[in-house]
Structure 1
Amino acid sequence: MRRQRGMSFISVLVVVFIAIVFVKAAITLVPMYWQNQMLTTIINTMYESGDVKSDTRPNQLKKLLEERLSKNDIRMAFDDLNIHTSNRGLTLDWPYEQRGTLFGNIDLVVRFYQQKDFTQ
């Protein structure tokens, strides 16, 4: 053994463990970002389709949003959803977070923020 070649068994285990952590994190995070992208698409479609008019009330917008999310099988809490009324239309402000389990009691938390002006 004048020259040692390759990695030791412990080094291989460490590399495999790190790879498993990254793969598990990706499996947990990708659906969260996909769901956020779907929500962005739904909100933009609501704006572009003309379903939200200048006389739409905040509770009507919330109900329309709930229906669209339900159709796309997206479950989200509406606790932090804020819909403001102005003389130009409605403004949607929605900070929310999603959690996913990494291992056991270790969670990954991702914070998102949706903001859209529904002005005509």
Structure 2
Amino acid sequence: MLYAAQSGGGAGSFMPILMIALLFGVMYFMMIRPQQKRRREAEQMQSSIGPGDEIVTIGGLYGTVASVDDETVVLEVAPGVQTRYARPAIARVVNKTERAESVHEEAEVKE
């Protein structure tokens, strides 16, 4: 009887390893993948910013993009008041300018 209890323990030692692997799999699909997707979307949004766009910084400051550089964005926060921010400091775009629509219209005219 003691021998039967010991032989069943071999299959039980595989179960904790399987549970740990399953836990890592769930963590990857629930936490890591969505975070990577949000980071890609933020980088895409920050790279598409252009002059005239109304944006919000991570600090909550609203402004209009005056100019764009490789690493910085100059915002006009009030008439005649311009401040410079790093691109990653842009949280979201409130209003895009109509330049994106004009590009689409020009592409349709060329076709």
* TM-score, normalized by the shorter chain, greater than 0.5: no
Quick check: which has more Rg, 1 or 2? 2
Normalised TM-score (structure 1): 0.41
Normalised TM-score (structure 2): 0.43
Larger RCO, structures 1/2 (Cα 8 Å, 6+ apart): 1
